[in-house]
Every structure is written in structure tokens, then in C-alpha cells.
Structure 1
């Protein structure tokens, strides 16, 4: 009689959750890496795309607001914004009341880049999901809700 138990590292039967946490971390990072590779502009860094995505979702920001949102220093964000502006993805808009204040917003070209990147990433996931069984897709749908719950902590 074999006393060994074949358990998944992601089960509640493991009192020490370190193996499950490690497995989840590695799988999440690997999928995130594959998704990041699906982009409209190969030369754009993840940080640069994050700025475009933030502007898409949250609208125009000042440099300081963008730096806070992305958790970087203002000088670092200024370099990123300057690169994105030079490439035509964003524009700086002077405040009509306070000329010292400048808002940063997407150009139409920047919005197109975000839309195309999102389309490519969704297409990658749709194709990947289509290759799975219905049970696997159902499991991933439930896992997505749980992962969002963990991320929102």
C-alpha cells in the first residue's frame, strides 16, 4: 500500500502555504511576462506603457500625480513623460488659470497604441483559453475572481 498522497500545491491540505504561494507567484509572473510581450510597440518599456494605461483609465494628470500613481520619483516620471512626449504618445497641456501647472494627457496616437496593445493581449488570452477544456476555463474564471480579491487587499 502506498502512503504517498498526490496533492496539488494549491490545496488547503497543506498547512504551510509557502509551496502554494511560490507556485502561484511563478505562474502569475510567467503569464504576466507573456502578456507584456503582446504589445503594439516593441521598444516601449512596461513603465512607459503603464503611464499610457493610467492616462487612458484615469484621464489627464500632473507630473506629480503620475509619479505618485506609478510610485516613482518626479524626476524619473519626468524622463518617462519626456520620452513619451517625444514619441508623440502624450502631450503637456498648460493650465488656463495657473500657467505653472501642466497636465499630461494622451494624444490620439497614444490612445491608439493603448487600444492596440489591449487588443493584442486580449487576443492572446482568448486564443489560449480556446485551447482549454470547459472545466479549465471555468476554473480560471473562478481563479480570476479570487486573484482580484487577493490583489485588492
Structure 2
């Protein structure tokens, strides 16, 4: 079995960040199994999620949100539209622009997958002691805040 290299210790923030990084990756892998039941691939589910939660977006905005090139997002959207999960509609203010919107089926598919993932996490949380549950409940908003992009002007790691 391969051994995991430990990064050089640079204080408590570095150790905490390393633990969070590792935990996030392992948690994502664990929950990906639930996504397999939803049907679309992880990249398709990610794009669908952006559209469901952000509302109608342009292909360019969706490509930027997903950090992929425009041809990649065009292909994903075409496949999701073929599956009846997304559709392209003209922008009401500028008919030259098309926006990507989720269909009712796409929204249902995404929310069903979310329910399955949350159920798996809830079972794991329920297995913790009451004190651990309280601690995790208090930490959850902090972890959520870390998942958001930093405010403009905030210091970036070097």
C-alpha cells in the first residue's frame, strides 16, 4: 500500500488546511458513488448544478464557472439538452444571446442526487457522539465560508 507523503509542517493553519484538503477529497470520492445513481457524469452534474442554483446563465458564464473552455461547455450543454435536463433559450433583452436553463427534469435529477448525498452524510453525522455532532455543527459554517472565493483585495497565498 502506498504511503502518503506529509507536507512540511508550517504551523497550525497549514496542518488544518492539509487536513481539510484531504478530508474534502475523500468526502467527494465517497459521495461520488451516490452521484453515479443520478446518471450524468460528474462534469455534467456540476454544470447542471451551476444552472439550477445560479439560474439562467450564458454559455460563457457557465464555462467560466466550471473552469473549462467554451467548446467543452458547449458539448456538455448539448448532451444535457439531448437528455432533457437543460435547454437553451434566447435572452429576453438581447435575442443574440442564448441562456442555459434547467428543465423541471434536470432540477429534479439534481435535487434527487443531493438528497441521496445528504442522507449518506446525515447517517455519518448521526453516528457521531452528541458532543461531536455539536462541534461539527459549529464548524460547518466555517467550512462553508472557506469554500467561497476570497473577497477581492484579500491576501492570496504566495
TM-score > 0.5, shorter chain as reference? yes
Deviations 1:54-110 (A, max 9, x none): 111111111111112222111111011111111111111134564432111111110
Count of residue pairs the alignment pairs up = 140
After the TM superposition, which of the residue ranges 34-43 and 111-120 deviates more from structure 2? 34-43
**1:61-80 → structure 2 map (5 Å cutoff):** 61-80=57-76
User: What is the rounded CA distance, in whole Å, between the counterparts of 2:133 and 2:43 in structure 1?
Assistant: 30
User: What is the rounded CA distance, in whole Å, between the counterparts of 1:41 and 1:61 in structure 2?
Assistant: 26
Match of 1:132 in 2: 128
User: What is the rounded CA distance, in whole Å, between the counterparts of 1:28 and 1:97 in structure 2?
Assistant: 40
Runs of 5+ consecutive residues of structure 2 not aligned to the other structure = 1-8, 151-158
Q: 1:81 aligns with which of 77, 93, 102?
A: 77
Match of 1:8 in 2: none
Scaled by the length of structure 1, what TM-score is found? 0.79
Match of 1:121 in 2: 117
Could you say which structure has the greater relative contact order, defined with CA pairs below 8 angstroms and 6 or more residues apart? Answer: 1
Superposition deviation, residue 114 in structure 1:
0.8
Question: For the aligned residues, what is the CA RMSD?
Answer: 2.1
Scaled by the length of structure 2, what TM-score is found? 0.77
**Is contact 2:56-2:99 (8 Å) kept?**
yes
**Is contact 1:40-1:113 (8 Å) kept?**
no
After the TM superposition, which of the residue ranges 137-146 and 117-126 deviates more from structure 2? 137-146
Alignment of 1:16 onto 2:1:
no
